Chains A and B, each alone.
Chain A
């Protein structure tokens, strides 16, 4: 039971639209049980999370969508083998925010949460149960599921207490600071801007070519994925258009068949209308496959690459911190040297103490820098492995969807040919 402000809220279950609900070939990406770096986990990776049953809770502008998060696992990490909780979108954002603050700055690639959408959510809140708001909810549900699976696939994040609490605990404190227009939200925006400015002014002496190479690789990958994403989104759009236009043509052909006074031809035209109706349905299904199996994969990776970039940037910041403390140490040493020639023995002692502290800090900063560099190397390796697996699985599934569509097309036109031949 989620904490909510008002009295017992009305719960309106949302019926998923039949066109959006997966036909045979759209499994969610996460259903394949994948194994991760075995050498780094105790028991084998066996966990499957599904997000389902979106329900509208409350009314008006305070309404929100509650999703059921079901975990099925045999890992000893968890108290039970199968359990569910109810979560809302801001809970997911809250989880991400906590993980990001704990792990990003030490070099772990934390999967980004799905994006907010004020427009999309407002439609749902306002209560329109139409095609577009149903599609929005389904998109979000799928994105939340992928987000959780990506998070738990990370062997470190999986063990994080916040993650475990998110999955297991029936009650979760509201994550208020995730709201876009909250003070925390504004602070985030300011920080982002400051970071951007800093990035432009920090010039790092890269001693390790690997990092530069990888950064360039990810940058060009980002450009290419964005380009591909745009084309795939365009394909989804045009296929949806094709579906609508085919349906309209089918109706028109049926009318034409009705007015045709030659009986056999009239029958053939009605058959044409039927075929085109089937095509319309096939185009719609294919457009869904285009979206969920291809477009969303690309969108996810564009966002993931932003997280990767963030991690590289953190390394630069860590380096900068190290440089800064070295400079500070140098200054203190110079100050101490100057004090040697004066007679202020207490100040001198203080300076010597400060130098000792500073030396400690410099050593720590150097260790931090080396640590984050090591972590990033491992993370990049893990990320690339995941990327290869992800793309291969999704694209194979996508091609399978295309195969199915073509098979259906053949079936439909086969009957059609049979009828028209008898005109």
Chain B
């Protein structure tokens, strides 16, 4: 009986309901927790396993999402406009100089065929894992 009341007024916390919640905590802690959650987020849908929930998970690669989005393309995973945008974001994170837009002007161009050794490396530093006794960066 008290359960029905709760489902009808999920966002409200009447005095009566509070008492019911306390009673229920002894019986079904999960239900009490559910009530707490619904009180905080009234717009939360009924089924957490809905398709939009899972689609968010597929994009993010895990279940971590509090907010449900209906549209497939609206996601919280960081998207980059293009690879240039990605490289700039990475460079900012590492707090290093931005990668040059074009080939270094000091290098002779057109005179020789570049080899892999001539090209700048994508990853700037490879630090040994601390598990293997690597130094702090």
B partners with A: no
Interface residues, chain B, with chain A CB atoms under 8 Å away: none
Interface residues, chain A, with chain B CB atoms under 8 Å away: none
